[in-house]
Structure 1
Amino acid sequence: MLAKTFGCAVFGVSANLITIETHVGQGSKCYLVGLPDSTIKESIQRVESALKNNGFFFPRRKVIVNLAPADIRKEGSAYDLPIALSILEASEQVELKGLDHFAIMGELALDGTIRPIKGALPIAVEAQNRGIKKLILPKENALEAAIVDGLEVYGLSHLRETIQFIRGKLAIEPLQVDIPSLFNQSHEEFEVDFSQVQGQENVKRAFEIAAAGGHNLIMIGPPGAGKTMLAKRLPTILPPFSLAEALEVTKIHSVAGKLMGKHALLTHRPFRSPHHTISNAALVGGGSFPQPGEISLAHHGVLFLDELPEFNRNALEVMRQPLEDRKVHISRAKWSLEFPANFMLVASMNPCPCGYYNHPSKDCVCGPGQVQRYLNRISGPLLDRIDMHIEIVPVPFDKMQAKHSSETSEQLRSRVLKARKIQQERFIPFPKIHSNAMMSSTQVNTFCNLDGASQQLLSIAMNKLQLSARAFDKIRKVARTIADLAGEEEIQATHIAEAIAYRNLDRENWAG
């Protein structure tokens, strides 16, 4: 007898519909075909044990399980549940009417418990796009899949429960998620706030500009100056997610297995802070089973690289193209895919190995040339792609003890939102551009016109600092954001001067 159901193969941040066909006939062997990997081949042992432990048996006849289309590589353990159900139907142990109306995915434990899987959201999106109305998933994954409209999602926890449900002997209601209510309730709740930061007003101003224009930023300062503390508060002043952005980011985290029943929808912009020992593949994505890297997990959010010179130089260099293209292409001999990577890079570093170069009260003990060698761990092309360089000095004790209140994240965010609204109206003809930092050179020339005084000031800076053409565009983009925050239609010389001031590492002999 032949039985059929459906599943999905996750590849990148999308999925392909897979038909699971099972035929039981004369013979004595089991064949699993359709380009399964070793994990799927091992599913026969898991399925056999799960069936026996729940009062069923694995057929001692010829069993052919086909995963179609046969030219797509299938990977992972999520096919256990649909294979087990199709075998029960094909061997006529249980009558499962309407099995081919479902998309089903889940890993089986030996006792029949259904374990969670990765990529539930793209699986749900693909099932809905292909006209399938019912989706069975592990209970831990059902919440994230339920945000897809027009799809009945059932979260189940055991093989026997699934059989009873498909047979109509167990009534289970599809999971419902009120997306607008969930989205509106929690997208402005944060555990940290800029009001908790005493002093560092110039750095807060730089963070406000970076948030308003989506600019990359690097902080240079001694240990304990507050670099990490400030970076962690940047998401609190970024514009809240749109629903489309939230769905896009949730899909990436679903593929990476970062949700697992915790959230139906990510409502805060992600903040990723990988350790400096991270590998190239972990940072940008890839691997034998392609997974999104940290730059994709930070999509529409912040990627914070603490102690930037301590990162492997090769790992940093692979970020250069994604910083420009805002996506990463991963190609291998047999496959090619694309992960989104539209993130804000925020980095921090000490000015020297001991950490106290240019410190107002402590002496640097580094030898001659040691400071420059330390800075040279970061390549010029990478620094050139960072819009703003900020030098941070420690906050004096009297300021740390001051009782006056600092501006809150809500106050800063209100100004950021006004500037972003100006940019939104400016870029209506360009639907793929959402902030000043995303402008191309052509758009910079269109929207960042300079008057005579501004051109002269920028010309002097270019010649004195020997800046590149990319830095020339970066300064104009930052100046455009400063003008937006001030509500000015034209860029003025004061805006250019402030933008130039955020190029600390371009200053001649900055490191002695």
Structure 2
Amino acid sequence: MVSRAYTVAFEGVEAHQVEVQCAVTPGLPAFSIVGLPDKAVSEARDRVRSALSSMAIALPSKRITINLSPADLPKEGSHFDLPIAVALLAALGIIPDDAAEGTVSLGELSLDGSLVPVTGALPAAMSAAEDDRTLLCPRASGSEAAWVAATQVIGANSLADVVRHYTGQSPLPPSEPGEVNPDTSPLDLCDVKGQERAKRALEIAAAGRHHLFMIGAPGSGKSMLAARLPTILPPLSPAEALETSMIHSVAGLLDQGGISRARPFREPHHTASMAAIVGGGRRATPGEISLAHNGVLFMDEIPEFSRAVLETLRQPIETGKVMIARANAHVTYPCKFMLIAAANPCRCGQMYDPNRACSRAPICGEDYLGRLSGPLLDRLDLRIEVPPVQFSDLDLPANGETSATVRERVVAARILQDSRFASTPDIRANADMSGAVLEELATPDAEGRAFLGKVAERFGLTARGYHRVMRVARTIADLAGSDTVRKPHVAEAVSFRLTASKEV
């Protein structure tokens, strides 16, 4: 007789169902696991044996075979411990077969039988809901998985609790969802003195999810501005919060099962590897661009990043997803992020400072910013120069607009976009428009179209640059509450496309 239990194998943020089959047959005593397990799964037999021994359950002197089906799907991770133990307990007649077959379980076993929390509980709960099964997991992971209301989630502290639950001795209560983590950031946009043009660029970027490139001398406030961008972004919608949390669940970044409505803000160092930025490694884990999904990816001193790393950003920026190719599988992660890039004008950073002029200008700046390829720069919607702040301005009281005030305008613009794109679920913001949708919704009036044509001819805008100006102009019109994109909206969008020196 073969007993069955169920678990999941992760491929990106997708959780594929795995049937755990257990057969106890006559033969030489052995405990084998087949079905393409990795090292962590193969080691489960020792953890399961020790956990059962701690409960005074001895394995029979027979051949025990565990098959993980489908056999051609790679099985990775320690979360297979619990489903293997559940299938084995059902095969030994300790728990009912129907209880094991009606459950999707995951969890790592300690040698004393206690359950250790694992990553991926949220996607596993989604998979269990699709199959109309209950999810069994460690209690510490239960609050995370319980956010999926379509399935019942049972959290246990130990394997003994699981046995008592399924035998009716001491049923476990369903887990409750974790707390919604509040946004307690003390940062505010009014902390930035001066830099009104940069603040306007941040507002436009936040309203339409546009990419922004800031060039300025050291200490001009680029990092300070970028750090305050999340304070003017609208909160995540329930669907966006679930998407983002699933990625963070796979990466093991959810804080005690709580789901946050604040948008992610990722700030990788320029020494980060390609696998850290894009994703990869032995288990094809999500990278920074996926962890910033529905949020902000801030790359300070972007010319210092590896050229190969920067070039890999081009396709994710366009498609909103990244595919990590492996010999036996292709893992796809979503990555609709807002890229905020910052750079000094040259290596010494003083090229624009008349008091400390760069001795190698303009070659110093050309060599430094020349590390950024034209195709990558062409994908950045807004480009601004952030001038140094005068010492006299630092003594002035903070009297600028607060983040709450700016956020109200940003939220109003996003509400317009939500209603506009209600019938096109793949488009959530103006930055996502393309093709016929872009032509229909972002084409300026006759005067604005003629002006944009002259600018494109004068500065040699590429087709991509032309369309990105249209998207930014549509966002500026939304902030102004205008149904039509007019010439002033186009003119402002063009001004953010061109630097003080040239179109880049």
Q: Does 1:212 align with 2:213?
A: no
Partner of 1:229: 224
**Which of these residues, 467, 482, 485, is aligned with residue 488 of structure 1?**
482
For these two proteins, the number of residue pairs brought into alignment is 502
Which residue is 2:104 aligned to?
103
| Aligned pairs for 1:266-305 within 5 A | 266-305=260-299
2:204 aligns to what SS in structure 1? Answer: helix
1:317 partnered with 2:317? no
- Label 1:368 to 1:271 Cα distance change in 2 as closer, same or farther (>3 A): closer
For residues 346-425 of structure 1, the aligned pairs below 5 Å read: 346-359=340-353, 361-366=355-360, 369-425=363-419
* TM-score calculated relative to the size of structure 2: 0.94
Partner of 1:247: 242
Q: Distance in 1 between matches of 2:318 and 2:217?
A: 29
For residues 295 and 217 of structure 1, the distance between their equivalents in structure 2, rounded to whole angstroms, comes to 15
SS at match of 1:79: helix
Which segment is superposed worse, 443-452 or 209-218?
443-452
1:264: how far off?
Answer: 3.1
Could you tell me how far apart the structure 1 residues matched to 2:493 and 2:354 are? 24
Look up the equivalent residue of 1:279 and give its one-letter code.
Answer: S
Between 1:316-325 and 1:482-491, the stretch displaced more is 482-491
Q: Which amino acid aligns with 2:242?
A: L
Aligned residues of 2:459 and 2:503 also touching (Cα < 8 A): no
Q: Determine helix, strand or coil for the equivalent of 1:202.
A: helix
Q: Write out per-residue CA displacement over residues 99-151 of structure 1, whole angstroms, 9 at most, x where no aligned residue.
A: 3222211111222221121111110110111011x221112211110011132
State whether residues 137 and 156 of structure 2, in contact with CA within 8 Å, keep that contact through their aligned partners in structure 1: yes
State the partner residue of 2:91: 90
SS at match of 1:263: coil
Asked if the contact 1:2–1:21 (Cα under 8 Å) also holds between the matched residues in 2, the reply is yes
Task: State the alpha-carbon separation in 2 of the partners of residues 83 and 509 from structure 1.
Answer: 61
Which SS does the other structure have where 1:491 is aligned? coil
Conservation of the 8 A alpha-carbon contact between 1:79 and 1:105: yes
Question: What's the CA shift for 1:49?
Answer: 2.4
Q: Percent identity?
A: 43
3-state SS, counterpart of residue 341 of structure 2: strand
Q: CA deviation at 1:313?
A: 0.8
Paired position in structure 1 for 2:119: 118
* 8 Å Cα contact 2:208-2:472 kept in structure 1: yes
In the alignment, residue 115 of structure 2 is paired with which amino acid? Answer: I
Return the alpha-carbon distance in structure 1 between the equivalents of residues 320 and 16 of structure 2.
24
- Report which stretch shifted further, 376-385 or 467-476: 467-476
Tell me the amino acid that sits aligned with residue 107 of structure 2: G
Report the Cα offset of residue 473 of structure 1: 1.1
- Measure the CA separation in 2 of the matches of 1:95 and 1:421: 52
Instruction: Provide the residue aligned with 1:158 in structure 2.
Output: 158
Instruction: Provide the residue aligned with 1:447 in structure 2.
Output: 441
Take 2:100 and 2:197, find their aligned partners in 1: how far apart are those partners?
63
From 291, 301, 304, the counterpart of 1:307 = 301
Q: Which runs of 5+ in 1 are unaligned?
A: none
TM-score with structure 1 length normalisation? 0.92
Structure 1 distance, partners of 2:275, 2:320, is 17
SS in 2 for 1:414: helix
For the 8 Å contact 2:302–2:341, the answer to whether it is kept is yes
**Partner SS state of residue 345, structure 2:** coil
Match for 1:390: what amino acid? I
Matched residues in 1 for 2:217 and 2:442: separation?
35
Give the match for residue 69 of structure 2. 68
What whole-Å deviation, never above 9, does each CA across 1:434-472 have from its counterpart, x for those lacking one? 211111043332223334543443334323322211111
Which residue is equivalent to 1:199? 194
| Inter-partner Cα distance in structure 2 for 1:137 and 1:127 | 12
| 1:193 partner amino acid | D
**Compared CA separation, residues 404 and 21, structure 1 to 2 (3 A):** closer
Task: Please tell me whether residue 331 in structure 1 is matched to residue 325 in structure 2.
Answer: yes
Structure 2 Cα separation of the partners of residues 360 and 143 of structure 1: 58
Shift in Å, 1:289: 1.8
1:230 positional shift: 1.1
State whether structure 2 residue 495 is matched by structure 1 residue 508.
Answer: no
Q: CA deviation at 1:490?
A: 2.5
Go from structure 1 to structure 2 and tell me whether the alpha carbon gap of 1:59 and 1:399 turns closer, same or farther (over 3 Å shift). Answer: farther
Question: For the residues of structure 2 that align with 1:288 and 1:107, how far apart are their CA atoms?
Answer: 19
C-alpha contact 1:235 1:269 (8 A) present in aligned 2? yes
Per the TM alignment, residue 397 of structure 1 is displaced from its structure 2 partner at its CA by 2.1
> Deviation digits for residues 215-261 of structure 1, max 9, x if unmatched?
100111111111112111111111221111111111111111111x5
8 Å contact kept, 1:465–1:506: no
Q: Is this contact kept in 2: 1:353–1:366, CA < 8 A?
A: no
